[in-house]
């Protein structure tokens, strides 16, 4: 236990951090621990339950956020406040669970949380990216339909490849670039088809592209900042959301959302605050179930599950909102989802190949007879 804690605290080299974040690799010791031998049926049942929990939580959160951000029955035009409130709920939940874990040590496992301003300052660069990610995600969802939401935010993989080249000078294989080409093609076809149907929002699409960039940057900064919180994801979640709550306050004043909220007709409605709090609970839960899915499967399987979930979410949205979509519109979705799945598969195959092949130095030594 002592050695693993030391490993968590040891600062990682910047290049290694960026490589891990952009290329999707993870700590092999963690994966080995996660894949301990268990009875096949028990492991299959656990994986099924965890994946189902991830799907239900993620899809429910998207539909609930769409309701809060763009429902004709609510008519609430305060996307920053909705995002701020969800961060506030997450902060309070983290602190509550920390207190509960301290009071009942055997009942649950949650790290002690105490606000340290030095740590908060260390986490601040990530918090700025985090704010951009969740804000642009919600703004994209406000302006585009749930059915187009996945296509609008589909360029994260492309930004991963681009940033890995710009920041690491890391070249990408031809096959991986080909899958990125399919994703970009699907994105443009989707934009074209939304325009043809008269439902395209350029504002929403721009927010989707910015959200994709922030998701990619968030992965980089998360890896960089983790040592400051002793490698604890929950501590990072707490500090991230505390910083976000503070940084959102001037935005609420500058954008006049507090005035809009004061004039909101359902401000005293229990139903409204119940839905808002439920949105915050889902926001907190998605971080937990994502980690759970990665733990019980692998980062690559998590990506495949996320792609399949996006497909199911799109179909559900079209059915729920009773929309009629053209063949080319569906083709754009299949291109984006297919390209994302293919990229995941290619990256997995390449990483496996690198692990199996001996390094060039070893080959040189053996050929020289050393």
Give the integer Cα–Cα distance in Å for 298 and 118.
33
> Is 254 part of a structural domain of the chain?
yes
- The domain tally of the chain equals 1
Give the integer Cα–Cα distance in Å for 334 and 328.
10
> Is 2 part of a structural domain of the chain?
no
Instruction: Give the DSSP H/E element, type plus range, for residue 24.
Output: none
Find, among 292, 288, 278, 294, the residue nearest to 237 by Cα. Answer: 288
Positions of the chain with pLDDT under 50:
1-12, 14, 17, 21, 25-35, 362, 364-370
> Is 279 part of a structural domain of the chain?
yes
**End-to-end CA distance of the chain, in Å?**
38
CA distances from 346 to 19, 135, 337, 357 (A): 17, 31, 14, 16
Per-residue model confidence (pLDDT) at position 56: 95
> Is 94 part of a structural domain of the chain?
yes
State residue 57 phi and psi, 5-degree precision. -65, -50
Q: Which residues contact 198 (CB under 8 A, 6 or more apart)?
A: none
Query: Which string of DSSP letters, residue by residue, matches 115-167?
Result: --HHHHHHHHHHHHHHHHHHHHHHHHHHHS-HHHHHHHTTTHHHHHHHHHHHH
Dump pLDDT digits (tens) for 253-300.
999 999 999 999 899 889 999 999 999 999 999 888 988 888 888 777
> Is 100 part of a structural domain of the chain?
yes
C-alpha dihedral over 78, 218, 9, 30, to 10 degrees?
110
- Domain of residue 233 covers 43-354
Per-residue model confidence (pLDDT) at position 271: 92
State residue 141 phi and psi, 5-degree precision. -65, -30
Per-residue model confidence (pLDDT) at position 37: 60
**Whole-model pTM above 0.85?**
no
> Is 13 part of a structural domain of the chain?
no
Dump pLDDT digits (tens) for 37-71.
668 888 889 899 999 999 999 999 999 999 999 99
């Amino acid at each position: 236990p002592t050695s693993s804690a030391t490993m968590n605290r040891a600062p990682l080299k910047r290049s290694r951090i960026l490589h891990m974040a952009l290329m999707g690799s993870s700590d092999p010791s963690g994966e080995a621990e996660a894949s301990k031998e268990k009875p096949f049926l028990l492991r299959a049942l656990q994986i099924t339950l965890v994946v189902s929990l991830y799907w239900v939580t993620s899809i429910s959160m998207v539909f609930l956020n769409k309701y809060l951000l763009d429902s004709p029955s609510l008519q609430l035009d305060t996307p920053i406040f909705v995002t701020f409130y969800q961060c506030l709920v997450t902060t309070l939940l983290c602190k509550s669970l920390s207190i509960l874990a301290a009071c009942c040590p055997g009942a649950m496992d949650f790290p002690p949380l105490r606000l340290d301003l030095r740590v908060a300052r260390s986490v601040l660069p990530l918090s700025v990216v985090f704010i951009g990610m969740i804000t642009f995600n919600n703004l994209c969802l406000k302006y585009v339909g749930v059915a187009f939401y996945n296509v609008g935010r589909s360029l994260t993989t492309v930004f991963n490849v681009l940033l890995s080249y710009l920041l690491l000078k890391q070249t990408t294989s031809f096959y991986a670039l080909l899958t990125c080409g399919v994703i970009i093609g699907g994105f443009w076809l989707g934009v074209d088809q939304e325009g043809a149907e008269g439902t395209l929002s350029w504002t929403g699409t721009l927010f989707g592209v910015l959200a994709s960039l922030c998701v990619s940057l968030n992965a980089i900064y998360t890896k960089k900042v983790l040592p400051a919180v002793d490698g604890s994801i929950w501590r990072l979640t707490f500090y991230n959301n505390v910083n976000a709550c503070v940084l959102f306050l001037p935005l609420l004043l500058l954008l006049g959302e507090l005035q809009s909220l004061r004039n909101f007709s359902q401000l005293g409605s229990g139903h409204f605050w119940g839905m808002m709090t439920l949105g915050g609970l889902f926001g907190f839960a998605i971080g937990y179930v994502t980690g759970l899915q990665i733990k019980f499967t692998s980062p690559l399987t998590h990506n495949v599950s996320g792609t399949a979930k996006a497909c199911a979410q799109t179909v559900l949205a079209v059915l729920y909102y009773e929309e009629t979509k053209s063949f080319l519109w569906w083709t754009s979705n299949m291109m984006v989802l297919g390209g994302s799945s293919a990229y995941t598969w290619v990256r997995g195959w390449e990483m496996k190949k690198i692990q199996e092949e001996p390094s060039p130095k070893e080959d040189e030594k053996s050929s020289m007879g050393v």
